[in-house]
Chain A
């Protein structure tokens, strides 16, 4: 079962780097992260890679394997042929710190811009009553392990640095949807999704959904419903007509 695999791994720091070739042992049942670890232990002790749980639960080891965003710990070596060259590179959308490790601070900044869960002032801890069916929509989104691969693959920012300030990315647009669908959240999230977090940039190509290791239906269940909610509010023809006729100057609809 043991064989020697050919790996090409991105190495470099400070904005410079190149692919380096390695030949490395692979054993039965191993995943790509195991091979990276073997490289560290035997050939390249300073090879940088993020990882934690090694069980697909923490979302630390996001890399691109043969150009596809994947978790290193959940990509089994048996999905490749023995003579295939396996190329491992850092996520492309975020600046590289070193080797396979990126600066993902963009994501944490965006997380901070989304107003937090806002329950009604008069509900005390222990008094919450919610039906299972009413929490399930948001629960799906809370399965997110914050691997940031959806944001990495999203074409709005993947090669468009200039869009980053105005766009929260699928991860945090989904967070807005999660809060909007929370039975006890009372904040108004729909206008800000569009105006402050760039929901309009998303043109539902579903790349985020495809790469999600948790199989969350980000586009179908979070982004599209969120867009519909915005549309219902802003572009309902009757509301639009009313605004035109009565020239409601205080209306937020434009």
Chain B
């Protein structure tokens, strides 16, 4: 069969918030851009984001500023964040949100007609621009419609909607192609027809999202098979922070078939409380030392905070997600869980029914339709669910460039921005800020080239053989291998980890890798999910191995990485990043330590010494004192 070939300046893989924003930027800078996505246009995982986009616009509380947002982000990530990314993110998020409004987004409003902002875990001020609890849908639709608007502009000028920006929907990329060290293209197939296709392009932006489908209980959709993480590794790029996975504290726990589906943090932001089987608001028992002075210690104070934030501290239900998830996990383990194996999340006794329906319409709908629970009248039952990976492709903060020339990454597939734990609401703004920067980075890279790299015919032939292999084998059912991987990761490299369990997981992953090499897909190439899964398995296994190896290496507990055998946070480990690499065939996954660069003086001076002393080594504190001294 002939391979369909296309020439583009930039190929963006993934059409969620980051991918679309990157593509829009590349096209706005005059580059011929392709958007390649596994689903239909407008269905990406971003639609599932509920709470909002964090941006320090100060519309609700004028005390907010990028500096406060920056501090919250670093605290949430337990100071492991790439501080330059956290800085850019906090500074640029407001412009990115306002830009959406100019493209047609309709956010909820404040009384004076500005974009309304809601409270969320770990954010000092109300900060999340939102539309009810369907903010992700609003964002994806707005970006989708912006792409269409650009296509209409191109149609007016060139008579062709797709002259400068084209969406290749339901296409999967299986390999990045290179010319020497540099990116030269991407190879994949059309899901609908099985047609193979190759893009000749000097720049690829990865925006493929996360890896949740390696776990049983997850809020992620089928698309989240770690494609971008794996493509980057196989192309010679590095992944960082892969041990940090966010388990969202509140996923549905019943019925079994919807276990893991997200229950938005807005429920708590808008007043919802967590209770155990004894009816106790248990989060008051779980305020960690580092957050002691920022959270209410009594229910009365926590409740007053919703109406008077100046004179009260926030309730501990709004601690960062890693803290709340671990607390729920402990309550259930201690036998104080709800009948269906979670804890109670109650908003029914906290807000009038009408208000709940207005503020949380999709939660109301979701529980009514899927679990027969009326959240305006009874509590929900919730438990932790695999939600987000903080780790990803190691990139340059300003441009999104990976170590491989021509490779860029933005959004969940990139690593660093969120450190060891992401704050709710920081993902949607991350997509916009770094999607734009990666698109601009790719455009700038192309301008700097004196010749276009070309992929060798050999590498295309290899990619073709790899893609077609499962169809030519009468092997094991790929669904079996997938289910076993999910069980392995869920049980052995989940929310609480131990060295012997991780080691066991690594052995299991090795065996699954061998089995995956022999899976077969019956049927034709036309829309064949068995074939698609057979190819996705390579990525899931590779990424799972990175997660497990990094988790085994990091001997401390921090954010989305909790080691039962090393329960404390260690200042020495804070200075170390774990960097994963692999050989081009996906064997030999390596983990190396790399020093975390010290924070710039003007940024570190934004924090108090007493707070920093909980995170930093003595040596770093001496540097801090010097920075403060100099800034005087």
**Chain A interface residues (CB < 8 Å from chain B):** 13-14, 27-31, 34, 40-42, 45-60, 74, 76, 97-99, 101, 103-104, 108, 111-112, 115-117, 119, 123-126, 128-132, 135, 138-139, 142-146, 179, 182
Q: Could you list some 17 contacts between A and B, CB below 8 A?
A: A31-B370, A45-B529, A50-B39, A51-B222, A55-B48, A55-B258, A55-B262, A57-B47, A76-B369, A103-B192, A116-B145, A116-B149, A117-B104, A126-B94, A131-B109, A143-B134, A146-B43
- Please give 10 more A-B residue pairs, beta carbons under 8 A apart, in addition to A13-B527, A125-B99: A31-B370, A45-B529, A56-B362, A60-B40, A74-B370, A76-B370, A124-B102, A126-B98, A128-B101, A142-B106
Tell me the chain B residues, 395-415 only, with Cβ under 8 Å from chain A: none
**Closest CB in chain B relative to A206 CB, distance in Å:** 20
Q: Are A98 and B370 in contact (CB under 8 A)?
A: no
B606 within 8 A of A: no
Given contacts A98-B526, A132-B109, contact A29 B371 (CB under 8 A): yes
Given A29-B256, A34-B257, A138-B106: A52 touches B45 (CB 8 Å cut-off): yes
Q: Which residues of B contact A139 (CB under 8 A)?
A: 106, 131-132
* Complexed CA–CA distance, A76 and B523 (Å): 29
Assembly CA distance A103 to B526 (angstroms): 13
Alpha-carbon distance between A107 and B222 when the two chains are bound, in angstroms? 23
Whole-angstrom distance between the Cβ of A146 and the nearest chain B Cβ:
6
B221 on the A face (CB < 8 A): yes
Given the complex, which residues of B lie within 8 Å of A58, measured CB to CB?
39, 43, 47-48, 221
Interface string of B225-238 (1 = CB under 8 A from A): 00000000000000
Q: Give every chain B residue within 8 A of A130 (Cβ-Cβ).
A: 106, 109, 113
Q: How far apart are B594's CB and chain A's nearest CB, in angstroms?
A: 36
Of all chain B residues, the one with the shortest Cβ separation from A74 is B369
Question: Among B40, B369, B530, which residue has its beta carbon within 8 angstroms of that of A40?
Answer: B530
B101 touches A125 (CB 8 A): yes
What 6 A-B pairs are tightest by C-beta distance, nearest first?
Answer: A29-B255, A46-B523, A45-B530, A117-B104, A129-B113, A116-B149
Task: Tell yes or no: B254 within 8 A of A by CB.
Answer: yes
Is the Cβ of A182 less than 8 Å from the Cβ of B161?
Answer: no
**Residue contact B102 to A54, C-beta cutoff 8 Å:** no
Q: Give complex CA distance A130, B192 in Å.
A: 43
By a CB distance below 8 angstroms, the chain B residues around A129 are 112-114
Tell me whether A125 and B43 are in contact (CB under 8 A): no
Q: With a CB–CB cut-off of 8 A, which chain B residues contact A128?
A: 98, 101-102, 113
Q: State whether A108 touches B41 (Cβ < 8 A).
A: yes
CB pair B102–A125 under 8 Å, yes or no, is: yes
A182→B104 contact, CB < 8 A: yes
A98 engages B95 (CB within 8 Å): no
Which partner residue on chain A sits nearest B192 by CB separation? Answer: A97
A182 to B42, CA, bound (A): 21
Listed residue (B40, B41, B106, B526) with the most chain A CB atoms within 10 angstroms of its CB: B106
> Which chain B positions have C-beta within 8 A of A138?
106
Residues in A with CB closer than 8 Å to B262 are 55
C-alpha spacing A115/B145, complex, angstroms: 10
Chain B residues near A108 (CB-CB < 8 A): 41
Report the bound CA distance from A233 to B116 in whole Å: 35
Tell me if B477 counts as interface (CB < 8 A to partner A).
Answer: yes
Please give, as numbers and ranges, the residues of chain B lying within 8 Å of A135 by CB-CB distance. Answer: 106, 108-109
Would A119 and B108 be within 8 Å (CB), given that A29-B254, A45-B530 are in contact?
no
In the complex, B459 has a CB within 8 A of chain A: no
- B261 interface residue (CB < 8 Å to A): yes
Residues of B within 8 A of A42 (CB): 479
Check B41–A142 contact: CB distance below 8 A.
no
In the bound complex, CA of A50 to CA of B483 (Å): 20
Flag if B366 contacts A56 (CB, 8 Å): yes
Given A98-B526, A143-B134, decide whether A55 and B148 contact each other with a Cβ distance below 8 A. Answer: no
A185 vs chain B, min Cβ distance (A): 8
CB <8 Å contact, A104 and B40? yes
Cβ contact within 8 Å between B528 and A46: yes
If the complex has contacts A112-B161, A116-B104, A132-B108, are A59 and B261 also in contact, measured as CB distance less than 8 A?
no
Known: A54-B258, A55-B366. A60 touches B112 (CB 8 A): no
Within 8 A of A (CB), among B112-162: 112-114, 116, 131-132, 134, 137-138, 141, 145-146, 148-149, 151-152, 161
Task: Select one of A97, A98, A112, A126 contacting B151, CB under 8 A.
Answer: A112
- Establish whether residues A60 and B39, one from each chain, have CB atoms under 8 Å apart when the complex forms: yes
Q: How far is the CB of A104 from the nearest CB of chain B, in Å? A: 7
Q: Given the known A-B contacts A57-B137, A116-B148, are A28 and B255 also in contact in the complex, defined by CB atoms under 8 Å?
A: yes
B332 CB-CB contact with A under 8 Å: no
Whether the pair B48, A45 counts as a contact (CB closer than 8 A) is no
Which residues of chain A come closer than 8 Å to B528, judged between CB atoms? 45-46, 48
1/0 per position for B515-546, CB-CB distance to A under 8 A?
00000011110111111000000000000000
How near does chain A come to B432, taking the closest CB pair, in angstroms? 12
Chain A residues with CB below 8 A from B114, complex form: 129
Q: Could you say which of B104, B257, B479 contacts A45, with CB atoms under 8 Å apart? A: B479
Q: Provide the bound-state CA to CA distance between A76 and B370, in Å.
A: 7
| Closest B residue to A114 using CB positions | B148
Q: Mark B16-59, 1 if CB is under 8 A from A, else 0.
A: 00000000000000000000000111110101100000000000
CB of A166, distance to nearest CB on chain B (Å): 19
On whether A112 and B152 interact (CB within 8 A), knowing A46-B521, A57-B362, A76-B369, the answer reads yes
Please give, as numbers and ranges, the residues of chain A lying within 8 Å of B477 by CB-CB distance.
Answer: 41, 45
Q: Cα distance A116–B149 when bound, in Å?
A: 6
Q: What CA separation (Å) do A74 and B371 show in the bound complex? A: 10
